[in-house]
Structure 1
């Protein structure tokens, strides 16, 4: 089943930026294509650049990639909950507590690449069994509206956003 692009009204106001980064009109294809792009990018990064940060106080290459992995896990859990109609209020992973210790110093690019691949395969598997009703459920009251569909496209756009930053700011 093709998972079309989301309605921009089914997501918070800042999501369309990320939706626009993703190309195509099928989420599974977009997830697969992005998975390959991320793996190619990581394999092109010299080991000597793994701990590079383009400015004081900014993440290193490894920290940014761990952030992408962490956020995909976070979004995948929200996707699971929305698809199953489970009301969950998760703290948004942001701020000092979230970035305090990513254990990047003890990780390798190969290790992080393998983790990202595993997470992405799980995300793709999660979506592969969903119906339109599961993809578009938005029955919880609250400040922001989400659907599994909009969160899935956010996963792709967020990953592309950080890959672009790695190329532009970190020159990898």
Structure 2
């Protein structure tokens, strides 16, 4: 089992993401989380998937798209650092990415399929890695981070947003019933 990263392996911004995760095999955790996320959103209507719990907040479709975009970026960072990249990997503006992606124009089923495909790719990448690169460190967005930490950041990020979906979206008195 590959254990959770130590706090010196990632930027303090991610402390709560990683602390909220169980100390279990990351591939199994990512698999379980993806199943929960898909089960949570797969039966929504298109109208429900467009719901925003407040002004200037993302729709449910945009949250799913954001999860996918972020995982793709994090998986690229994971791959790059695992393969020995020495350059600083760039950050990204999550709000600009969502704004320019037009997720609300895409069918919910397509967004879910893309999320599942990206997750499958991430799991296969992690499973293919030997132990040695697991603790390799690089720099992403100006902060040092290990390969192991990135894998757990992916899981922590998803857990964070799944909690928001359940609490603020589905828990809203304005959430459409159908």
Q: What TM-score do you get using the length of structure 2 for normalisation?
A: 0.88
How many matched pairs? Answer: 171
Q: CA deviation at 1:46?
A: 3.3
- Alpha-carbon distance in structure 1 between the residues aligned to 2:40 and 2:85: 36
- Alpha-carbon distance in structure 1 between the residues aligned to 2:140 and 2:57: 36
Question: Unaligned regions of 5+ residues in structure 2, if any?
Answer: 172-178
Residue aligning to 1:152: 151
2:121 pairs with 1:122: yes
Residue aligning to 1:40: 39
2:64 pairs with 1:54: no
Work out whether residues 78 and 151 of structure 2, in 8 Å CA contact, stay in contact via their aligned partners in 1.
yes
Q: CA deviation at 1:139?
A: 5.5
Gap change, CA 1:85 and 1:19, over 3 Å in 2: same
Q: CA deviation at 1:52?
A: 0.8
Following TM superposition, where does structure 1 have runs of at least 4 consecutive aligned residues deviating by more than 3 angstroms? 139-143
Gap change, CA 1:97 and 1:45, over 3 Å in 2: same
Work out whether residues 74 and 154 of structure 2, in 8 Å CA contact, stay in contact via their aligned partners in 1.
yes
1:14-57: per-residue Cα shift (whole Å, max 9, x none)? 11210122223211111111111111111143332111111111
What are the equivalent positions in structure 2 for 1:1-172 lying under 5 Å apart?
Answer: 2-94=1-93, 96-138=95-137, 143-171=142-170
Work out whether residues 24 and 30 of structure 1, in 8 Å CA contact, stay in contact via their aligned partners in 2.
no
1:107-160: per-residue Cα shift (whole Å, max 9, x none)? 111111100100000000000121222110115699522011000000001011
- Alpha-carbon distance in structure 1 between the residues aligned to 2:46 and 2:94: 28
Q: CA deviation at 1:96?
A: 4.9
Q: What TM-score do you get using the length of structure 1 for normalisation?
A: 0.91
- Alpha-carbon distance in structure 2 between the residues aligned to 1:147 and 1:168: 31
- SS of equivalent to 1:146: strand
- Alpha-carbon distance in structure 2 between the residues aligned to 1:163 and 1:14: 18
- Alpha-carbon distance in structure 2 between the residues aligned to 1:120 and 1:85: 23
Out of 18-27 and 72-81, give the one that drifted further: 18-27
Question: Unaligned regions of 5+ residues in structure 1, if any?
Answer: none
- Alpha-carbon distance in structure 1 between the residues aligned to 2:139 and 2:19: 26
Out of 112-121 and 13-22, give the one that drifted further: 13-22
